[in-house]
Every structure is written in structure tokens, then in C-alpha cells.
Amino acid sequence: MPTPSLLKPSHGILLIADITGYTMYLQGSELDHAHGVLTDLLAVLVDGTRPPLAVSNLQGDAVFSYGIDTHQVSGQTFVEMVEDIYVGFRRAIEEMIMNSTCGCNACANLGTLDLKFIIHHGEFLIQTIGNSQELVGSDVIIAHRLAKNTVTATTGIRAYATYTAAVVEALDISHLTDDWTPHREVYDSGAIECWVADIGPVWEEAKSRSELVIEESEYRGKSSVDIAAPAEQVWDRLADPNLRRLLVGSDRQVQETRVKARVGPGDVYQCYHGDVALPSTIVEWVPFRRMLTKDENIHLPGATVDILVDYRLEPTVDGTRLTMAGARPQGSDADREVFHSMDEPLKQLLGAALAEFKDQVEATSATPAAV
């Protein structure tokens, strides 16, 4: 009999997205309608689980996923991914409520459902049992224990993301914990230190967000490129000064100011062209969809202007389309006129920059396979 090969442990993120309130909801609802609601909401969670995460399995009213350490995205991008899943979940519930004409309890009580996340980091094995595969290991047990916790009882927060100390260290996001609530769960095996992020306000902000509208006629040099990578990874590279410098043709780029713990509106990238630094200030920051910056003292042949640079991401069948364009020049009348006359040269410059950026993103991206 051949000796079975030893399984090689993996290290990475373990994430549970758990629909809260479903047991009570089920008890007071018609079974067929309640099951249909659960099926639809689980589908939203599965669709929202994007690389570097992959779905392991469904567990009743929860989705268990994992991400093997490949450093595919930064810590902030990962936090934004979790928040984006939550926004998609809450939007799905709101649309169900708005579109429902049914008077049953299952439809009437949709608003009682919410979502919590458990995020841990550790070691696990991907084990094959018959025709199925699953994750096993002590850190997998820890993640599932944390799904039964005292967070709401002790903090009053109902919709939350609980990050263990292990995942905070692994993602290098200790600077974000100042905005979170420290928390401890005690089990027979010992205490687990965590931070709890209230994600309810994330949905409220998403609902009330208004974006700066730029008419199509105002864009100059507009160009697009299709990148074989998910939007989350393209966004992560777009926020990285070492790669975004390719898009503006600078020798190097440095993020010199930070309004809050996270990168966002008001923060400044300094774009260095030799010894000359040109500031690029973030105006809008909509993760995985749009970044808008105000770039100052842009030198054109015979002109210097300040312009808005609009970066937009759209999903495609094979990845993500990144579109980049300049708009609304500020400067003298003559300088603005020069800018408006340079559509084709700007388009060529942006096209070449986007092509180089695409090569770099695709070279550093990977998509995990789901268990």
C-alpha cells in the first residue's frame, strides 16, 4: 500500500460572513419564503467574495472563505473589501424590501436581518475527504468559535467586523484600530484579543454618497485598458504610489499627508519629476469603482494647468477595465485652450501609461481557486 503524502500547511486569512438574526427571522416567517430569502442573500455573499479570498463552503446562514498568504492586496484594501461585501448585502435587502408586494412575515421582517464578519489569520490544511475538500486546523476552530461571541452584548454593535490580533498583525493594519473597539473573548482554551469595527455606518455613508459629476464633453485624452485581474487588485495597485506613478509619468511618487488613518479624500500624493514635486490630491475615493484626483502644475507644451484626473474601474468578463481621463483645467485662458486642443496627444500618452500599468498589475496578480 502506498504511503499517503503529507499535507502541507497553508497560512492565510479565514473569514466567516454570518447573517445575524436569521434564527429568529425563521421562527416568525413562512419557511418557503424565508428559505428563498436566505438563498438569495447567500448568493450575494458568495458573489462578493473576491480574490484574494475564495469560498470554502456554505454553513447554514454563513459563508466560510479563506485567502492563502500571497500579499495580493494591502491591509486597507482588504478592510475595504469586507465593507464592500456588507454594502452589497444591505443593498440586496433594501432592494428586496422595495420590490416586494408580498404581505407574508418573511417579506415583512426582512429588515431584521444583518451581517457580521469574523476575520482571523493562521495555519490550516486543505484536506480532501471523498469528493469534497475542507479546511482543518486549530485556527479554523478559533474562527468558528468567534462566530459565537459576546460582541453585541458587550458593545451594543449589531453589524460588525471582528478582527483578531493575529489578522491585524498579518495585514499590518494596527494603525486602523484606533477607530475600532478593543474586545476580548474568553474560552476554555484561553482568551482571544480582537478589535470590533462597527460597519453599520459604512452602509449609511454608501447610501448618502454623492459623486462629482463630470459631463462627457469635459473629458480630454480619455483612454481605457482591459486588465486581466479583479477590480480589488487593480484598485490596490492604483492606490500604491510605486505603481500609480506609471500613470502620470513620474520618476517616483510618495504619499506625504494622511488626513485619517486610512488613505482617502484630502490625502496628497507627491509626484516627483526629477527634483520637481507636483501634488496630486485625492478628491473622491470610492473603492473598486472610482478615484478622482486634482493634479496641480501639470506642464504641457506652452501651458501649465491644474486638472482633475478621473480613474474609473468597471468589471469585464475577464477582469477589469480601467479608464483614465483629464477634465476641468484651471489656469489662464490661453493655458486652458492649449489643454483643450491636446485630445489626441493626451490620449496617446494615457494609452501608453495604461498599457505599462496593465503589464505591472497582471504580473503581480493571482486568482486563488475555491475549495
Shared-domain flag, residues 183 and 225 = no
CA of 114: how far to CAs of 92, 117, 294, 337, in Å? 11, 11, 37, 53
Helices (DSSP H) in the chain: which residue ranges? Answer: 22-27, 31-48, 75-99, 105-108, 138-146, 151-155, 165-171, 200-208, 231-238, 241-248, 333-340, 343-363
pLDDT at 28: 65
pLDDT at 302: 82
pLDDT at 280: 95
Contact residues for 364 (Cβ-Cβ < 8 A; gap 6+): 237
User: Looking at the whole model, is its pTM more than 0.85?
Assistant: yes
Per-residue pLDDT of the chain (371 residues), as tens digits, is 444 445 688 899 999 999 998 877 777 666 667 778 888 999 999 999 988 899 998 998 999 999 987 678 999 999 999 999 999 999 999 998 888 767 677 777 788 899 999 999 999 998 877 766 789 999 999 999 999 999 999 999 999 999 999 999 999 999 999 999 999 999 887 899 999 999 999 999 999 988 899 999 999 999 999 999 999 999 999 999 999 999 998 999 998 767 788 999 999 999 998 888 999 999 999 999 999 999 999 888 888 999 999 999 999 999 999 999 999 999 999 999 989 888 898 999 999 999 999 999 999 876 554 44
The answer to the question of residue 369 being in a domain is no
Report the number of distinct structural domains present in the chain.
2
pLDDT at 3: 43
One-letter identity of residue 71:
H
Residue-number span of the structural domain to which 227 is assigned: 213-363
pLDDT at 33: 73
Question: CATH no. for residue 32?
Answer: 3.30.70.1230
Shared-domain flag, residues 190 and 61 = yes
> 459631463: which residue's cell?
215
The answer to the question of residue 90 being in a domain is yes
**Residue that terminates a domain, selected from 206, 235, 262:** 206
pLDDT at 199: 97
Shared-domain flag, residues 223 and 348 = yes
pLDDT at 131: 66
Burial 318-334 (b: 16+ CB within 10 A, else e): ebbbbbbbbbbbebeee
E strand or H helix that includes residue 126: strand 114-129
| Residues 328/293, Cβ–Cβ less than 8 Å | no
The answer to the question of residue 223 being in a domain is yes
Q: CA 112 to CA 221: how far, in whole Å?
A: 48
pLDDT at 371: 47
Question: CATH no. for residue 269?
Answer: 3.30.530.20
Shared-domain flag, residues 256 and 159 = no
Contact residues for 269 (Cβ-Cβ < 8 A; gap 6+): 241, 244, 253, 254, 255, 256, 279, 280, 281, 282, 293
The answer to the question of residue 370 being in a domain is no
| Residues 174/180, Cβ–Cβ less than 8 Å | no
**Residue that terminates a domain, selected from 148, 181, 206:** 206
The answer to the question of residue 368 being in a domain is no
pLDDT at 132: 65
Shared-domain flag, residues 268 and 195 = no
Shared-domain flag, residues 224 and 157 = no
**Residue that terminates a domain, selected from 206, 241, 274:** 206
Q: CA 100 to CA 30: how far, in whole Å?
A: 15
One-letter identity of residue 339:
F
Look at residues 141, 261, 151 and name the one whose alpha carbon lies nearest to residue 196. 151
The answer to the question of residue 242 being in a domain is yes
